Structure 1
């Protein structure tokens, strides 16, 4: 009988839907623990160090609390070969190593999301340009046509720790 629904029918329908939702929630597995996926990067690093027209930077001796979360190597354009290695630091902040032989200004702008130069900082005897921005801060070094950017949401102390751990090898 259409038009004769009651509040009781509504409550019974809602209860039935609730049982179904509870069953789905209870029986479908949930991801537990850390939602940040850790990745290995030795294969990509080896390829980049064999192929890149510059010495590729990667950290050596970072603490075990630093976790690699992303890695890419793009050599499709020989004038803009790009290396990226992203991390989550011990305080769960993002930090990345970005390297390229592309035009430095545009590369820095893109990788720092528009951060502006705000001075310099010496890390293990090497002077890096310091950039501050609304999204990312960065340490930037240009040498022999290659720009290395250590950037992210991590504080400058953590960016400096990552920069100090970088070891450049390979290149043609």
Structure 2
């Protein structure tokens, strides 16, 4: 009986947290000011997702400059609740890709979107990545998700 006195309030609090306060929903941030900051810096052309569904959540957003270049990072939670990171950078790709995907990452195919042609990589264990590189910047989509969610995000980049 004394255990029930403890468990009932805990169950009620958890139910309130999950149902009323959306406790299971990922924390969302507004990435628009960070995209704008990267665009205003003018260091590389910035791709911005257009028309992502309500089931995508931006959870982190940063733009940082370093000696070897600048990097924009936006973290997302996809509709399957898996993490995906969008990385746009003018750091040389021979430096950026081993750091973001691992030195052992291997290209395994290609994907086309409106933004261009992407290389599909088998990255760290359990991770897939799409990479698009040109002279001015490298764009990386990497996450522990299926390539279909990576392609869905790539299709929205303009």
Shorter-chain TM-score bucket reads: 0.7 to 0.9
1:87 pairs, out of 76, 91, 99, with 76
**Structure 1 segments unaligned to the other structure (5+ residues):** 1-14, 168-172
**SS at 2:99's partner residue?**
helix
**SS at 2:48's partner residue?**
strand
The alpha carbon displacement at 1:127 in A equals 1.5
- Find the counterpart in structure 1 of residue 61 from structure 2: 71
- Find the counterpart in structure 2 of residue 10 from structure 1: none
- Find the counterpart in structure 2 of residue 129 from structure 1: 119
Q: TM-score, normalised by structure 2?
A: 0.80
- Find the counterpart in structure 2 of residue 43 from structure 1: 33
User: In the superposition, relative to structure 1, how do residues 63 and 132 fare at CA in structure 2: closer, same or farther (>3 Å)?
Assistant: same
User: In the superposition, relative to structure 1, how do residues 147 and 166 fare at CA in structure 2: closer, same or farther (>3 Å)?
Assistant: same
- Find the counterpart in structure 1 of residue 134 from structure 2: 143
The alpha carbon displacement at 1:91 in A equals 1.0
| Deviations 1:16-62 (CA, angstroms, capped at 9, x unpaired) | xx8xxx49x75xx6643315211111111111110140111220011
Cα distance between partner residues in 1 of 2:127 and 2:141: 10
Q: TM-score, normalised by structure 1?
A: 0.74
The alpha carbon displacement at 1:128 in A equals 0.9
> How many pairs align?
148
**Structure 2 segments unaligned to the other structure (5+ residues):** none
User: Greater CA radius of gyration, 1 or 2?
Assistant: 1
2:105 pairs, out of 115, 120, 124, with 115
Higher relative contact order (CA 8 A, sep 6+): 1
- Find the counterpart in structure 2 of residue 105 from structure 1: 94
Q: Is the 8 A contact 1:69 1:88 kept in 2?
A: yes
Cα distance between partner residues in 1 of 2:35 and 2:115: 25
